[in-house]
Structure 1
Amino acid sequence: MVFFSYTSRKTLPLVIILLLFTGYTGFAQNKFGITPQINVDFKIGTAWKVNSKLENRFVLHQNPYEGTGSSSEYDNTGIEVLVARNKGRLKNLGAGYLVRRSDKDGSFIHRAMQQYSLGQELGSLQLAHRFRSDQTFEKKEAVQYRLRYRISVEKPLNGLRVDPEEFYFKANNEYVGILKDGEGNLEIKLLTALGYNQSENNQIEMGLDYRAKNLIGSGMENQLWLRMGWYHSF
């Protein structure tokens, strides 16, 4: 999948949205819903920074149904906390933990995470790379191991930087390699969002989060989520 081309920046939003809907309607197993989330950042001294996220997921339509008797349902709630180094040789190296509760059977999953990120400026574009590994633990299930790479681009819609009370465009493309019980799989994620920088400490974003899951073998699943997020920094 081609993420973006610097020579066609003006057509990037349209191309990505077309890819989203083309991919979503082209397969039999589909899921559509909304994912409101709250993100909070704060610092511990000058050496550490913390990012915490609370996310709920609601399914508005799914095909086929997953044994609920309805195409819509509350799916899960997750809390994630990640601590990263803010200075020195280990800057941007971090680790975190996620706990997620599923409404289907009330079970919990636990996930340990390790990551490294870096960013760069290309004119008015803010480019970021994230490398992450994680291990997911769930009752009566084998441990799931994942390796993930995400590239992100953010562009102000006015001027060379995002000032207060201005809008910006954001796009993420992530590739996820999965190993569970000796079997490998692949997942691809693509997010396009419009953000509003209310102030230096508050941003609001809304966009489409498309996920192509189980790309190796049978049982591929398409997911399309309307993501609504509030970001606050202390």
Structure 2
Amino acid sequence: MRSIFYLTILFILIAQAGFAQNRFGIMPQINISFKLGDAWKVNSKLENRQILYQNPYDGIGGRAEFERTDLDLIITRNKGALKGLGAGYLIRRYDADGGSFLHRFIQQYSFSRQLTGWSLAHRFRTDQSFRNDEATQYRLRYRIGLEKPLNGLEVDPQEFYLKFTNEYIGILKDQVGNMEVRAATSVGYNLNDNTQFESGLDYRAESLIRSDTEHLLWLTIGFYHSF
């Protein structure tokens, strides 16, 4: 697992250095979750994106700007025959173009397996995004995630853990298809059973089918708390 972690970081850094059209920035987020009765769980996330470097940018490479803010809410069934099914809503404010908004409806199914010394999680998701004066965007997503404690077989309070995720996204907008690939790796600290901190790198390759592929690298900082 440590080899995967270091190789992923090396691949991301090499890729970013070699591509002409790219962005680098910081992506902090706050995740809050709580139970809704015995059978449902609610997860809310507030995420910002601050671009620190981008090339090209109107002929001026390297200009920084605050890009956008996301707020989403996902409700998931956590018991019974429908365990893992969920739905939610996201609203996004784009700061770079004067404060326009995007609205997104989300449907998903997720499940995980606890194995000796690590856990494996799968998530299948569809979403539909709406924005003024633009065609509706439809996406089909699959994400796989691995989590491994860095001490022992389980993540205990005041211990570190390693997380790796890989996601593939199919996109359809205005009858034109596209694809996006994401890979993220992070180190987390489990303060207690309800609170975690994570920090790492999130690499994304967007518009893979078109010629204007864009490569993005984000420094992620996350706070997680459950009630």
Decide: shared fold, TM above 0.5: yes
**What CA distance in whole angstroms lies between the structure 1 residues aligned with 2:131 and 2:26?**
24
Tell me: CA distance 1:197–1:66, structure 2 relative to 1, closer, same or farther (3 Å): farther
Tell me: CA distance 1:10–1:209, structure 2 relative to 1, closer, same or farther (3 Å): closer
Tell me: CA distance 1:67–1:110, structure 2 relative to 1, closer, same or farther (3 Å): farther
Which residue does the alignment assign to 2:23? 31
**Alignment counterpart, residue 178 of structure 2, candidates 181, 185, 195:** 185
After superposition, where does 1:1-234 map in structure 2 within 5 Å?
Answer: 9-65=1-57, 71-104=63-96, 105-234=98-227
Residue 85 (structure 1) shift: 0.6
**What CA distance in whole angstroms lies between the structure 2 residues aligned with 1:159 and 1:95?**
35
**What CA distance in whole angstroms lies between the structure 2 residues aligned with 1:70 and 1:197?**
36
Residue 23 (structure 1) shift: 1.9
Residue 149 (structure 1) shift: 0.2
Secondary structure in 2 aligned to 1:197?
strand
The farther-off stretch of 155-164 and 70-79 is 70-79
Secondary structure in 2 aligned to 1:120?
strand
Tell me: CA distance 1:233–1:179, structure 2 relative to 1, closer, same or farther (3 Å): same
Tell me: CA distance 1:58–1:66, structure 2 relative to 1, closer, same or farther (3 Å): farther
**What CA distance in whole angstroms lies between the structure 2 residues aligned with 1:45 and 1:79?**
23
Residues 26-67 of structure 1: CA deviation (Å, up to 9, x unaligned): 221110000110000100110100000001110000001158
List, as ranges, runs of 4+ consecutive aligned residues in structure 1 with deviation greater than 4 Å: 66-70
Give the letter for the 1:17 counterpart. Answer: I
**What CA distance in whole angstroms lies between the structure 1 residues aligned with 2:61 and 2:121?**
42
Which consecutive unaligned segments of at least 5 residues does structure 1 have?
1-8
Tell me: CA distance 1:195–1:32, structure 2 relative to 1, closer, same or farther (3 Å): same
**Overall identity of the aligned pairs, in %:** 58
TM-score, L = length of structure 1: 0.94
Which consecutive unaligned segments of at least 5 residues does structure 2 have?
none
Give the letter for the 1:16 counterpart. Answer: T
**What CA distance in whole angstroms lies between the structure 1 residues aligned with 2:62 and 2:20?**
17
TM-score, L = length of structure 2: 0.97
Residue 24 (structure 1) shift: 1.6
Q: CA RMSD in A?
A: 1.3
Secondary structure in 2 aligned to 1:20?
helix
**What CA distance in whole angstroms lies between the structure 2 residues aligned with 1:29 and 1:144?**
23
Tell me: CA distance 1:200–1:173, structure 2 relative to 1, closer, same or farther (3 Å): same
Give the letter for the 2:209 counterpart. Answer: I
Give the letter for the 1:118 counterpart. Answer: F
Residue 70 (structure 1) shift: 6.4
Secondary structure in 2 aligned to 1:141?
coil
